[in-house]
Amino acid sequence: MKLTSRGDYATRIIMELSTVEGPYPVSVHDLAARTGISMKYLEQIMLRLRSAQIVRSERGVHGGYILSRRPERLSVGEVIRAMDGPLAPSPCASQTAHVPCPAYRCPSEQGCVLRGLWLDVRNAIAGVLDETTFAELAERQRAVAGASGGRYMI
Amino acid sequence: MKLTSRGDYATRIIMELSTVEGPYPVSVHDLAARTGISMKYLEQIMLRLRSAQIVRSERGVHGGYILSRRPERLSVGEVIRAMDGPLAPSPCASQTAHVPCPAYRCPSEQGCVLRGLWLDVRNAIAGVLDETTFAELAERQRAVAGASGGRYMI
DNA sequence: AGAATCCCGACTATCTCGATAGGGTATTAG
DNA sequence: CTAATACCCTATCGAGATAGTCGGGATTCT
């Protein structure tokens, strides 16, 4: 049930973008500096985020990436799905990209006990990730930063 | 957040073993026939399950594998962990195999907002998988099999 | 024009997954 | 005792994903 580094990185990046007032565009260069991710790899991640319409880009000298929605309306689940695919542990339990099991193994989805279980797991995961917005994460960030008199900590 | 086929298979296998009265040993040959998994691959899975002490084996002519505990005391979580590792999406959020993030990326686990989130996800997953026993699954299986006048369906 | 920036495809190691293969060891039936 | 039945163990392999890296092209601003 692992998260890939892409998913983890993307979440960090979007957190970073969520704390930008403005909004004004942030360049890959700046994002790399702020997160410690290599520029080239970060660039790839940004392309995926853009094709998922989570960010939009502006080209040219003062270009960069901007959230395409306000952090209040952007959930962690969307970002993870854009990077790592469906949240469900098995395709047969996915709500956003459902694929049934091969028929010879699972003759009926309705009657499949395991699918019911994977569905419970999927719902548990989605319950957390789809209900957590980046506004909420930014809020938590401010709380811990304030409490610890804190330096940058992502 | 994917389950591997090993995890899926192992769950099916243990479900199968949970419905064996006795208990008496079931051979790899029989398990393969009942689940449709190739014998050789199934054998490997059984070795892992044995080294995790989820099943024990008996060698010789009437040998095979037996659950080492009653299905009431065996959770799906244990089986998944034995096959696919920790349930947590990130090692820093694992309770059974905790590994901190590199310090340059995450100076303090206490203050890490993302770790908090991954921990929520981990707890959501574990809440389902550690609370579901194979006795419970076998019960559900009987319920749907009865309701549909049912044939073998795993 | 030139600098900063995004855009895009190719490339490369490394790993894991899913499986197959082949032989070794214990137990028991006959 | 021996053959059959089973588990035990290690090695190997192809395909695909992961985690990056690299080089250059296109766009925009100064």
- Looking at residue B145, its pLDDT comes to 82
Question: Do residues A7 and A49 touch, judged by C-beta distance below 8 A?
Answer: no
B11, B85, B112: residue with CB nearest A114: B11
For residues A138 and A133, what is the distance between their CA atoms, to the nearest angstrom? 9
Q: B58 vs B145, which has greater pLDDT?
A: B58
Residues 6+ apart with CB under 8 A from B6: B45, B48, B83, B84
Measuring from the CA of residue B40 to each C1', which nucleotide is nearest? C20
Nucleotides of C under 7 A from a protein CB: 2-10, 16-22, 25-29
pTM of the predicted structure, to 2 decimals = 0.94
pLDDT of residue B136: 98
Q: What's chain A's average pLDDT? A: 93
- Encoded amino acid at A66, one letter: I
Residue matched to tokens 């019911």:
A116
- CA separation for the pair B69, B66 (Å, rounded): 9
What's the pLDDT score for residue B153?
A: 45
Q: pLDDT value at position A67?
A: 97
Q: Do A89 and B117 touch (CB under 8 A)?
A: no
Q: Determine the 3-state secondary structure of A134 from DSSP.
A: helix
Q: How far apart are CA A52 and CA B25, in angstroms?
A: 51
Of A19-23, A52-56, A109-113, highest mean pLDDT:
A52-56
State whether the beta carbon of B1 lies below 7 angstroms from any atom of strand D: no
Distance from CA of A60 to the nearest CA of B (A): 30
- How many Å from the CA of A114 to C1' of C20? 28
State the DSSP string of B5-74: HHHHHHHHHHHHHHT-STT--B-HHHHHHHH---HHHHHHHHHHHHHTTSEEEE-STT-EEEESS-GGG-
